Structure 1
Amino acid sequence: MRITWVQPEDLLPHEIAASRDEGREVAAIARRWAAAGGELTPPVSGASASPAPARLRALATELLDAADALPATGSADEPEDLAAVRASWPATWSLPAGPAAYDRLHGAWLGRAVGCLLGKPVEKIPRHGIREILVATGRWPLRDWFTARGLPAEVAARWPWNRRSAPTSLAENIDGMPEDDDLNFALLALRVLETYGRDFTSADVAQAWLDWLPGGRVFTAERVAYRNLLLGLAPPATARRHNPFREWIGAQIRTDVYGWVNAGRPDRAAELAWRDATVSHVRAGVYGAIWVAAMAAAAAVAAAVDEVLDAGEAVLPPGSRFAATVREARALGAGTDDWEAVVDELYARHGHLHWVHVRNNAALVAAALAYGRGELERSICAVVSGGWDTDSTGATVGAVTGALTGASGLPDRWVAPLRGRLASSIAGFDGIGFDELAARTAALADAGTRAAPPAGPTTTAAGPATPGDAR
């Protein structure tokens, strides 16, 4: 058995790639590793085929220490402290005041589950493989759940389903929402707020992981941070030691709830998301988390998806690569019906990144939201057919469009298979209903609104307030 995402010999190739992306000088480290017989190509699934010899494992650990000690290459465009990021935020927000209506919150939970479930069976399958499966089963372009029925054996062999997900996420097998980390982290955020309140700290999030989140249910940066917690490190050091996944997608999937309980206030949502994200991520990894939280805060009360995308962009460091990525992707997706051309361009720009990196996946999310124009089916089918981290991007896009629509407006053919419930290994949540989750979220949102100071005039630098539908 190979334990994934934590073995030094598997981490080092990812670290070399991550450091190069950050502009750090790792050529000497790469040369030493290659000269010793180490593999420079990062393993796609988190573990190489067989354990490394003891000498290589020891060298990998030494070189990871050396990489950690390299000088930082950060700039003012990509700040690592909240105060610097907050400096560019608007003073006020042109969004309807919260709290969000129960129907909008219910729609957000359902939409997150629907989008996640749609993407689960094809996670790790590349874009062209997803298309081949759909063409072979007569479902291209994507407009329904994936199925193994009618799939030729040679196609199935070439593109095997995600083995952990297919038994419960194909059309013929769906019976409620199966467990997934994209929902587990939303549940955990809910519990953090219920347990510690809105003043929770990063240390509280870390303790919540240790108390309620099984270690085997976390991956990439979260698994590294979990290991670092067990080694005795505290946040934010947990995000930095031997963590080549520090700018991957993990934190971006954790923060919707912080937006839902701060409807109309993307700034407050982003601050909570920052505290959570810095347990495991830095820079773009954290920017993805505050971006999604801000969009969730807007989606719960906004009338249109452009208001949501505006809110998300407003909390990002304006000169960062992440901000540029989502702005460019949004522009590509807007005003076109040629989704394949959009995705072709996204792959040309970001195809060099790992399929779990944050920037390429955020680009897909931004483009799909703009392309989908707030409609759930069009949006989730677009983002999942685009590949990369399909269940995570599907979940984020589904949550935004589900909140914009509200539960009462979501198509029954997408919602009914969920049976109104989800599975989880987090104690107290297995089998819980989406209606109860929405009610508990609404209670937190209402309590926060009563305790918070007034939001001020509804005007921003972006222009006058636009009336929204809070349902």
Structure 2
Amino acid sequence: MRITWVQPEDLLPHELAASRDEGRDVGPLAERWAAAGGDLTPPVSGASPAPASPALRALAVELLDAADALPAPAAAGEPDDLAALRATWPATWSLPTTVAYDRLHGAWLGRAAGCLLGKPVEKIPRHGIREILVATGRWPLRDWFTARGLPAEVAARWPWNRRSAPTSLAENIDGMPEDDDLNFALLALRVLETHGRDFTSADVAQAWLDWLPGGRVFTAERVAYRNLLLGLAPPATARRHNPFREWIGAQIRTDVYGWVNPGRPDRAAELAWRDATVSHVRAGAYGAVWVAAMAAAATVATGVDEVLDAGEAVLPPASRFAATVREARALGASTDDWETVLDELYARHGHLHWVHVRNNAALVAAALAYGRGDLERSICAVVSGGWDTDSTGATVGAVTGALAGASGLPERWVAPLRNRLASSIAGFDGIGFDELATRTAALAEPPPAAPADPHPAAGPGSGVGPGSGVGSASEAAGGVR
């Protein structure tokens, strides 16, 4: 068995790429690795086909240590601490701060719908996604993916994500299946319910160890999890042998911090930073604060431009990440030809790994601007763009779901969810999105009024929702292990 995302010989090629991207000179390290017979090509799925010899693995560990010891990249424009980041934020915000339950409910539903749409094609490149859709008569994307009518040769060329296809194709959907993009939202909810707004990075790390199975985390989170087990504490967990420190992982974890801070992107960003630094640095953490700030705005804003403005406002203005999302936003807003937008995004960012944060953030920003607040137009655009499709679909779905509110979402994107979310996090398996919205509302400042008529998303006999006893707040506080 090859365990992905942690073997030294697999981490080193990714580390060489990450260090070069940061501007560090790793030429001598790469030469030593290649001379010893090591592969310089980073494995796309996290593990090379066969384990390295003991000698080559030992060299990989030595070279990872050497890379960690290299001088830090120049920090101009890209701060790596919260105080420096906060110094760039606006002193005041003009957004409303009163949130409606319906908007929070829509955020949860939209996040699930966008994630579910992207699940079966995660890791399939853009041109493969298009070939699947053309072959099944669904191009351009406007509905769930299906294997019905897919020619065998196309299916063999572009296999579905094996963990996702059984539960995320149109013919199989029966509620929202488990996904890390939802698990981390649940975990953020639990951290807030347990520790309140003054939680620390150490609280987040402990929540991972207490509640999150190690097999349900990937890339930077898996490395940080390993570092926790080795006895390291945040932020050191993000920095040892972690070539994924500026990938997308932290960006998928922070929506809830925005939803509980309606109209206050700054407060949301601070909470997101504490969470992100368990596993990420610089752009990896910027992605987290960006999404949290957009989430804070999306529950109260009147349009997607207000949301994008809020997200950009918490970014270090001279950073590459900020430049990336500004450029992508302008591209998405400039035309109704989405394929032209994608061509340009791939020309600018196609060299990055499919799980890197900058290319995926660019895709999110462009899709939100292009979609103009419409959930279907937005999630279909972002998923058809490839890269980390379930994660970008979830982020875009959460923003547009919050803007519309649950009552404004198309039934065909909500009904298959059956008001039911699967999770391996104890106390949450089978929970309803209405219950999640209720618990989120209880944490919001100021809290919204009690819902008058929750969105009728539950399927027949689902047996979940407020009062069902599934995933109650008391379970989150006390815990079932």
TM over 0.5: yes
Give the drift of 1:76.
2.4
Q: Distance in 2 between matches of 1:176 and 1:218?
A: 22
What are the superposed Cα offsets for residues 321-347 of structure 1, whole Å, 9 maximum, x if unpaired? 000000000000004110000000000
Q: Distance in 2 between matches of 1:456 and 1:120?
A: 33
Aligned length: 459
Q: Residue 34 and residue 307 in structure 1: after superposition, are their counterparts in 2 closer, same or farther (change >3 A)?
A: same
What are the superposed Cα offsets for residues 243-270 of structure 1, whole Å, 9 maximum, x if unpaired? 0000000000000000000000000000
Contact 2:426 2:480 in 1 (8 A): no
Please state if 1:456 is matched with 2:450: yes
Q: Residue 150 and residue 342 in structure 1: after superposition, are their counterparts in 2 closer, same or farther (change >3 A)?
A: same
Q: Distance in 2 between matches of 1:388 and 1:156?
A: 19
Q: Distance in 2 between matches of 1:320 and 1:180?
A: 31
Q: Residue 456 and residue 70 in structure 1: after superposition, are their counterparts in 2 closer, same or farther (change >3 A)?
A: farther
Give the drift of 1:462.
41
Contact 1:95 1:468 in 2 (8 A): no
Q: Secondary structure of the residue that 1:463 maps to in structure 2?
A: coil
Contact 1:322 1:359 in 2 (8 A): yes
Q: Distance in 2 between matches of 1:159 and 1:51?
A: 26
Q: Residue 457 and residue 152 in structure 1: after superposition, are their counterparts in 2 closer, same or farther (change >3 A)?
A: closer
Q: Distance in 2 between matches of 1:324 and 1:418?
A: 36
Q: Residue 169 and residue 462 in structure 1: after superposition, are their counterparts in 2 closer, same or farther (change >3 A)?
A: closer
Q: Residue 172 and residue 237 in structure 1: after superposition, are their counterparts in 2 closer, same or farther (change >3 A)?
A: same
Q: Distance in 2 between matches of 1:378 and 1:102?
A: 24
Aligned residue runs from structure 1 range 255-334, under 5 A: 255-334=254-333
Give the drift of 1:179.
0.1
Q: Secondary structure of the residue that 1:198 maps to in structure 2?
A: helix
Give the drift of 1:468.
38
Give the drift of 1:455.
19
Structure 2 runs not aligned, ≥5 long: 461-475
Higher relative contact order, structure no. (Cα contacts within 8 Å, ≥ 6 residues apart) = 1
**Counterpart in the other structure of 2:468:** none
Contact 2:190 2:477 in 1 (8 A): no
Q: Distance in 2 between matches of 1:463 and 1:143?
A: 23
Give the drift of 1:456.
26
Please state if 1:144 is matched with 2:143: yes
Contact 2:368 2:396 in 1 (8 A): yes
Structure 1 runs not aligned, ≥5 long: 447-452
State the 4+ residue runs in structure 1 displaced beyond 3 angstroms: 453-458, 461-464, 466-471
Q: Distance in 1 between matches of 2:427 and 2:20?
A: 43
Contact 2:102 2:451 in 1 (8 A): no
Q: Secondary structure of the residue that 2:148 maps to in structure 1?
A: coil
Please identify, of 71-80 and 415-424, the stretch whose mean Cα deviation from structure 2 is larger. 71-80
Contact 1:222 1:280 in 2 (8 A): yes
Q: Distance in 2 between matches of 1:469 and 1:405?
A: 33
Give the drift of 1:73.
1.0
Contact 1:202 1:278 in 2 (8 A): yes
What are the superposed Cα offsets for residues 263-318 of structure 1, whole Å, 9 maximum, x if unpaired? 00000000000000000000000000000000000000000000000000000000
Aligned residue runs from structure 1 range 309-458, under 5 A: 309-446=308-445
TM-score (norm 2): 0.92
What are the superposed Cα offsets for residues 35-87 of structure 1, whole Å, 9 maximum, x if unpaired? 00000000000000011111010000000000000000132200001111111
TM-score (norm 1): 0.94
Give the drift of 1:94.
1.3
Identity of aligned residues (%): 90
Give the drift of 1:469.
37
**Counterpart in the other structure of 1:450:** none
Give the drift of 1:463.
45
Q: Residue 300 and residue 454 in structure 1: after superposition, are their counterparts in 2 closer, same or farther (change >3 A)?
A: closer
Q: Residue 463 and residue 53 in structure 1: after superposition, are their counterparts in 2 closer, same or farther (change >3 A)?
A: closer
Q: Distance in 1 between matches of 2:246 and 2:451?
A: 36
